[in-house]
């Protein structure tokens, strides 16, 4: 009998808790509907959560260049900032997320290439990045990409940049692969590794972080062309609208402002805003 009482009590508690949370979320919805312009509609955007300068989740919210671009685009589509739901888009999941309709569009350092363009549509490009290296600020032995050949490079496991090093850029260089860029920086800082390689926009974001300031510098080699686009579901009518929004962003100076704000501190020289639909090979 005692057991039954406990069960009943816990069921009651559970039911209470459920209704309480349900009330909570209702309140929140009606709140945003009051303040928002277009009712309670939401837009879901995929970004990176772990790339400083590009897309990073911080205790204060989300920040980075991709976040700024996505916020601007969403605004042009008729969604205010508090109607955006951010979702993490890991590199390997991006195509699947778009195809399933988990997100409306993805702005997550998403380079346009043929394999991806076959599965999803790309608006943009909105940024032209290049593969580059991040080296210790006091390291003068790496001046040209050729100097990388007898060095120890680091990149993220399986990434395009890691494969580029192995196949093309510096086949004789030794490559260390780690799951995150931060892990690579441990080695570069201690001198066990010589350089971290990936897109310069991402590197600039790391070098601009408060705890790394002054310790690293960019090599400045433009080794590849990475055209960052905004991914949408194949055949979606969002593509044309996003293209228009991006054009407007460049025209009214918001683009330039976002670039300076996010990459500025690292002394990173960005490329001029790319023309929509103009993919640099």
Partner 1 sequence: MFDFLEGYDLWEAFWTTVQLTVLSAVGSLIWGTMLAAMRVGPVPLMRGFGTAYVNIVRNIPLTVIILFASLGLNQTLGISLGSDQVDTTNFRLAVLGLIVYTSAFVCEALRSGINTVPVGQAEAARAIGLNFTQVLTLIVLPQAFRSVVGPLANVLIALTKNTTVAAAIGVAEAALLMKEMIENEAQLIAISAVFAFGFVCLTLPTGLILGWVSKKVAVKR
Write down the least CB distance from residue 11 to partner 1, Å: 35
Element (DSSP H or E) covering residue 226 = strand 226-232
Binding of residue 222 to partner 1 (CB under 8 A): no
Q: Which of 57, 75, 76, 183 binds partner 1 (CB under 8 A)?
A: 183
Two structure tokens written together for 7: 């069960």
Q: Which residue in this structure is represented by tokens 């086949």? A: 171
Q: Which is nearer to partner 1, 55 or 84 (by Cβ)?
A: 55
Three-class SS state of 58 = strand
Write down the least CB distance from residue 175 to partner 1, Å: 7
Q: Which of 71, 131, 176, 236 binds partner 1 (CB under 8 A)?
A: 176
Write down the least CB distance from residue 32 to partner 1, Å: 34
Q: Which is nearer to partner 1, 158 or 220 (by Cβ)?
A: 158
Q: Which is nearer to partner 1, 118 or 210 (by Cβ)?
A: 118
Write down the least CB distance from residue 158 to partner 1, Å: 3
Q: Which of 38, 39, 158, 277 binds partner 1 (CB under 8 A)?
A: 158
| Backbone angles phi and psi of 187, in degrees to 5 | -70, -40
Residues 63-122 touching partner 1, rule: CB under 8 A, are 91-93, 95-96, 115-116, 119
What is the side-by-side order of every strand in the sheet holding 152-156? 174-178, 152-156, 195-199, 131-136, 216-218
Three-class SS state of 264 = helix
Binding of residue 163 to partner 1 (CB under 8 A): yes
Q: Which is nearer to partner 1, 186 or 278 (by Cβ)?
A: 186
Using CA atoms, how far residue 27 sits from 21, 22, 44, 154, 165, in Å, is: 10, 9, 20, 48, 52
Using CA atoms, how far residue 39 sits from 32, 43, 84, 144, in Å, is: 8, 12, 13, 55
């Amino acid at each position: 009998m005692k057991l039954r009482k406990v069960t009943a009590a816990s069921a009651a508690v559970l039911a209470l808790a459920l209704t309480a949370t349900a009330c909570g979320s209702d309140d929140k919805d009606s709140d945003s509907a009051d303040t928002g312009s277009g009712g309670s509609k939401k837009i879901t955007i995929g970004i990176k959560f772990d790339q400083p300068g590009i897309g990073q989740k911080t205790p204060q919210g989300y920040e980075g260049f991709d976040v700024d671009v996505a916020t601007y685009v969403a605004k042009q589509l008729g969604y205010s900032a508090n109607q955006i739901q951010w979702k993490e888009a890991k590199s390997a999941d991006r195509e699947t997320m778009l195809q399933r309709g988990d997100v409306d569009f993805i702005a997550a350092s998403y380079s346009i290439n043929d394999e991806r363009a076959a599965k999803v549509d790309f608006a943009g490009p909105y940024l032209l990045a290049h593969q580059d290296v991040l080296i210790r600020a006091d390291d003068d032995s790496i001046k040209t990409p050729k100097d990388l050949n007898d060095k120890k490079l680091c990149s993220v496991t399986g990434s395009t940049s890691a494969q580029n090093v192995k196949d093309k850029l510096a086949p004789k260089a030794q490559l260390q692969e780690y799951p995150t860029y931060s892990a690579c920086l441990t080695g570069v800082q201690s001198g066990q590794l010589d350089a971290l390689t990936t897109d310069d926009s991402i590197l600039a974001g790391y070098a601009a972080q408060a705890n790394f300031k002054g310790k690293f510098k960019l090599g400045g080699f433009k080794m590849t062309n990475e055209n960052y686009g905004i991914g949408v579901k194949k055949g979606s009518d969002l593509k044309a609208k996003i293209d228009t929004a991006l054009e407007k962003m460049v025209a009214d100076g918001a683009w330039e402002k976002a670039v300076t704000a996010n990459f500025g501190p690292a002394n990173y020289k960005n490329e001029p805003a790319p023309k929509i639909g103009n993919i640099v090979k």
